[in-house]
Amino acid sequence: MFLPTTPKELDQLNWPKLDVILVTGDAYIDSPFIGVAIIGKVLVDKGFRVGIIAQPDMNSKTDISRLGEPDLFWGITGGCVDSMVANYTALKKRRKKDDYTPGGMNTRRPDRAVIAYSNLVRKYFKKTRPIVLGGIEASLRRVAHYDFWSNKMRRSILFDAKADYLLFGMAHSTIVKFATALKENKPPEVLNGVAFISKEKKGKELPSFEAVQKDKKDYIKSFHMFYQNNDPITAQRLCQQHNDRYLILNPPEPFSTTKELDHIHSLGFERDLHPFHKKAGTVRALDTIRFSIPTHYGCYGECNFCAISVHQGRTIRYRSEESIIKEAADISHLEDFKGYITDLGGPTANMYGFECKKKLKKGACLDKRCLFPSPCKSLAPDHSNYIRLIQKVEKLPGIKKVFISSGIRYDIILNDKKNGGAYLEKIVNDNVSGQLKIAPEHTMPHVLNLMGKQPVDLLLKFKWQFDALSKQSGKKQFLTYYLIAAHPGCRMNDMKELKKFTTQKLKVTPEQVQVFTPAPSTYSTLMYYTGLDPFSMTPLFVEKNPKEKEKQKKIVTVKSYKPYGKKGN
C-alpha cells in the first residue's frame, strides 16, 4: 500500500492520528529506491502509523498541516539528492528541470530543503513534537562543513535547522529504535546512528566549528577524524563544539544483515507515484527505477569526489538470491511490465555477492583502501554469485531481458582472475542495452591520484576486452565514459591531454562530462576549499573561475574544439 498523504486516506485506514509525519523534497514515489518510502514502510511494519507530506507549499499551512500533528516526531528529508545539488549546476546556474518533481519543472523544492521544511513546521506548530532530520542532505551535512553555494563554512545542519535530532546513514534499524524510544519515553540519545546537541562534551573531540572556520588545516584534521569514524565496527562517538554547545555524533548503526534487507524489500512497495501527485504530471525518476531492482548497498570504491562511503558505508551488504528473484517475479506481474528489468545492481553493480572477510570482522581499514591505488589482496573479488543471480532472474517466466544499467568497476573485473572474464562475457552477450557505463573520470596520473581512481592502463585493457567480446557476439555495443572536468589539481593542459587520449585511444568524443561539484563531505571538496592535498598537505591548483571550468569541459566535449591552441594555465 501507499503510505497516507491525505486526510481521506487516514479515514480509510481508520487512523485518527499519526505517530510520525515524514516531510520530503521529492514527490512521493513508493519504491525501494526511495529512502523516505523505505523508512516509512519499516516503521509501519513495526506498528507505527506513518504519513508522508511531499514537496509542501512553502507559502501556506495547507500542505504541512493537512495530516495534523504527529504523536511522536516529524521526520524531515531533502529527498534523494541534496537540495542545492538538485537546484543548481556546478557553475551555480539554477536548474530548470527536476527529475523528482511531477511535470519535471524545478518549482517545488526549496533551497536548503531540510532547513526550510524544519522552519515550516516550526512556523505552524509552535511547540511541537521533536523534529528529526534524515536523508542524504542531512547525513552529509551533519558536522561543520564547507558549503560551495555560499562559499563558506557552515555549522552542522542540526544547528541551522534548529532540529532536535539527526539520524545519519541509511537508518534502517535506527529509525525503529528511535520511534520506540520516544513511544516508551526513553532517551534516544543512547542509540547508534543518532546525532544531537548537548551542553556537555561527550566523545572524541573534533576541532570546533569556530576552529575549522578560521583555519583550513584544522578543517582537514576534522575531516580526517570524521571520515575515519564512519565504520560501525571501529567508530567512536564524536563531538564538535559550536559556540557554547556541542554536536554529539554517536557511532553509526550496525550494517543491516542480508536477512534484514530481505525483509525490508518484502514490504510491498507500489513502485509508482502516489495518486495525489499524478494530477500534476509524471516524474522522470520513475522511468529509471520502476522496473529496476536494488541488489546491495554500500561501496568500497572510495572515490574522493563521491559521498557514498560516508552515507551508505564502505562495506557491501547484499540481499539474498531468493529475495531478489521474488522481487523480479513480482515485477513481472505488473500490468504495464513489458518483460525488461531495466537494472539489477547497486551503487557499483559488480560489487554484489562478496566482501573482504577481514573487513566484516574488524571493520574498514584506516590505513589503506580496498581498490586504490590497486586492489587489496584481501578483497578476493568473485563474480560467480552475480553471474548466477542474473541467470536465475533471466529464467523467470515473463522476463525477456535483464539489463545492467548501474556503473561497474572494471578494475574489479580484471582483478577477478577466476570469474571476471566469464562475468564480462556474460553481460556483453546478454545484459548490455547498447552502452555499458564506466567511470574512468580522467586519464592524467596526478589527477587520477587525487580522485582516488585506478590508472588508465586498466581502462585500455578493459576496452580491448569489451570490444573484442562485442565483436565476437556480433553486436554494436559501446562504452559510455563518465569524466570530470575542473577537479582539484586539474589544469587546462590536463584536459587537453584527456581530449587527446579520448580521440586517439578511445576513438570517441565523450558526452558524459561534468564539471566537478564540491558536494558536502567528500575529500575532493576538502581539496577544493583548502587548496591542499589533505593526504600530503602539499598545495594544489584549484580552478574556481566558472568560465574556466566550462572551458575545461568544452575541450573534451566539443568536436571542433582545438586541443592544442593557446597554452593552458
Per residue in 118-164, pLDDT (tens digit) is: 999 999 999 999 999 999 999 999 999 999 999 999 999 999 999 99
Angle in degrees, CA 381, 382, 386, rounded to 5:
125
Q: Give the orientation angle of helix 420-430 with respect to helix 384-394, to 10 degrees.
A: 30
**Residue range(s) in the chain whose domain bears CATH number 3.30.750.210:** 291-433
Is 306 known as a binding-site position?
yes
- Calculate mean pLDDT across residues 505-512: 93
Choose among 395, 407, 399, 425: nearest CA to 512.
407
**Does the pLDDT of residue 405 top 90, yes or no?**
yes
Residue 565: its pLDDT value, please? 44
Helices and strands of the chain, counted as H and E runs: 23, 22
Superfamily of domain 7-186: Cobalamin-binding domain (3.40.50.280)
Residue 560: its pLDDT value, please? 59
Cβ-contact 439, 380 below 8 angstroms: no
Residue 222: its pLDDT value, please? 98
- Calculate mean pLDDT across residues 394-399: 98
Per residue in 13-48, pLDDT (tens digit) is: 999 999 999 999 999 999 999 999 999 999 999 999
Q: What percent of the chain has pLDDT over 70?
A: 98
- What whole-number distance in Å separates Cα of residue 437 and Cα of residue 345? 12
Name the pLDDT band for 564 (thresholds 50, 70, 90).
very low
Residue with cell 517545488: 108
Residue 559: its pLDDT value, please? 81
**Does the pLDDT of residue 386 top 80, yes or no?**
yes
Please give the CATH architecture assigned to the domain spanning 291-433: 2-Layer Sandwich (3.30)
**Does the pLDDT of residue 239 top 70, yes or no?**
yes
The domain 434-569: what is its CATH number? Answer: 3.30.750.200
Average pLDDT, the chain: 96
- What whole-number distance in Å separates Cα of residue 158 and Cα of residue 252? 17
Cβ-contact 146, 61 below 8 angstroms: no
**Does the pLDDT of residue 369 top 70, yes or no?**
yes
- What whole-number distance in Å separates Cα of residue 272 and Cα of residue 113? 23
Cβ-contact 43, 71 below 8 angstroms: no
Parallel, antiparallel, or unpaired: how do β-strands 238-242 and 245-249 relate? antiparallel
**Does the pLDDT of residue 566 top 70, yes or no?**
no
Residue 567: its pLDDT value, please? 44
DSSP string across 76-145: EE--SS-HHHHHB-TT-PBPSB-TTSTTSBS-SPPTTHHHHHHHHHHHH-TT-SPEEE-HHHHHHTSSSE
Residue 226: its pLDDT value, please? 98
- What whole-number distance in Å separates Cα of residue 106 and Cα of residue 110? 9
**Beta-carbon neighbour count of residue 561 at 10 Å?**
15
CB burial string 74-113: b at 16+ within 10 A, e below: bbbbbbbbbbbbbbbebeeeeeeebbbbbbbebebbbebb
Rg (CA), the chain: 24
CB burial string 455-492: b at 16+ within 10 A, e below: ebebbeebbebbeebbeeeeeebebebebbbbbbbbbb
**Residue range(s) in the chain whose domain bears CATH number 3.40.50.280:** 7-186
CB burial string 49-69: b at 16+ within 10 A, e below: bbbbbbbbebeeeebbeebee
**Does the pLDDT of residue 568 top 80, yes or no?**
no
Is 239 known as a binding-site position?
no
**Residue range(s) in the chain whose domain bears CATH number 3.30.750.200:** 434-569
Q: What percent of the chain has pLDDT over 90?
A: 97
Parallel, antiparallel, or unpaired: how do β-strands 340-341 and 401-402 relate? parallel
- What whole-number distance in Å separates Cα of residue 377 and Cα of residue 381? 9
Angle in degrees, CA 172, 409, 300, rounded to 5:
40
The distance from CA 289 to its chain's CA centroid, rounded to whole angstroms, is 15
Residue 435: its pLDDT value, please? 93
Is 303 known as a binding-site position?
yes
- What whole-number distance in Å separates Cα of residue 369 and Cα of residue 26? 34
